[in-house]
Amino acid sequence: NAGVTQTPKFQVLKTGQSMTLQCAQDMNHEYMSWYRQDPGMGLRLIHYSVGAGITDQGEVPNGYNVSRSTTEDFPLRLLSAAPSQTSVYFCASRTTSGLPSYEQYFGPGTRLTVT
Amino acid sequence: DAKTTQPPSMDCAEGRAANLPCNHSTISGNEYVYWYRQIHSQGPQYIIHGLKNNETNEMASLIITEDRKSSTLILPHATLRDTAVYYCIVRATGFGNEKLTFGTGTRLTIIP
């Protein structure tokens, strides 16, 4: 299992540009989510999905769009990049079946700089 | 979700037990305690979770007080690779409870 993979690892954008951060998992997990982590801070939830075709907003959704057309993939789209979106972005997944558990698996992150 | 309080930083000598405290005095009866860690700039890694009983796995032990208002994560024989930021999280499970609030955690430094 590759686990959770993210591409690209690094990205530099100019203000106003758009781009898509890719996230894929091969564990057949129903739940997937996107977090951002700013320097010296914890992770903040952007969007999440509990299954294909179902997405919902987290605590900092503005400026980002998501869709979930397959179980495996959960791309995050930046509509018009702003310097405030400079951050490290982590994708995570977990199963929603079985015993109560909240073990999330995280990807390696995408380091985004917006100039 | 219940709020958690952790010390911002701790040091521990290599080979000794690292005891990381977490206060969650407003925890509800259906909320679990979870611990994650983040090594350098990698993605967070799940360590352990528990409801009210003490738990142990291959990475660590989790001790939860009887009143469940605080807990301690124990790394029994700390190594340099355990240097990381450790996050204590309190969360109810189930649909509709998807947000995992990480806070700022405890930066644990293992001293050679």
pLDDT at B80 over 90: yes
**In degrees rounded to 5, what are phi and psi of residue A98?**
85, -160
Q: What is the pLDDT of residue B2?
A: 64
Q: Which pLDDT band, with edges at 50, 70 and 90, does B81 fall under?
A: very high
- Residues facing B87 on adjacent strands: B36
Residues in contact with B95: Cβ distance below 8 Å, sequence separation at least 6, in sequence order = A50, A96
Q: What is the pLDDT of residue B94?
A: 63
- Give B30's Cβ-side CA count (13 Å radius): 6
At A69-84, the pLDDT tens digits run 999 999 999 999 999 9
Nearest by CB to A48, which of B98, B101, B103? B98
Burial state string for B23-38 with b = 16 or more CB within 10 A and e = fewer than 16:
bbeebeeebbbbbbbb
Angstrom distance (rounded) from CA A64 to CA A73 = 16
Decide if A102 and B101 are in contact by the 8 Å CB cutoff: no
Decide if B46 and A105 are in contact by the 8 Å CB cutoff: yes
Angstrom distance (rounded) from CA A66 to CA A22 = 10
| Minimum Cα–Cα distance from A35: chain B residue | B100
At B85-108, the pLDDT tens digits run 999 998 876 655 666 778 889 999
Interface test with B, best of A34, A43, A68, A93 (most B CBs within 10 A): A43
Inter-chain CB pairs, A–B, below 8 Å: 66
Nearest by CB to A103, which of B46, B95, B102? B46
Q: Which pLDDT band, with edges at 50, 70 and 90, does B43 fall under?
A: very high
Residues in contact with A24: Cβ distance below 8 Å, sequence separation at least 6, in sequence order = A4, A5, A72, A73, A74
DSSP B94: S
Interface test with A, best of B102, B104, B107 (most A CBs within 10 A): B102
Residues of A in Cβ contact (< 8 Å) with B91? 102
Is there a contact between A13 and A111 (Cβ–Cβ < 8 Å)? Answer: no
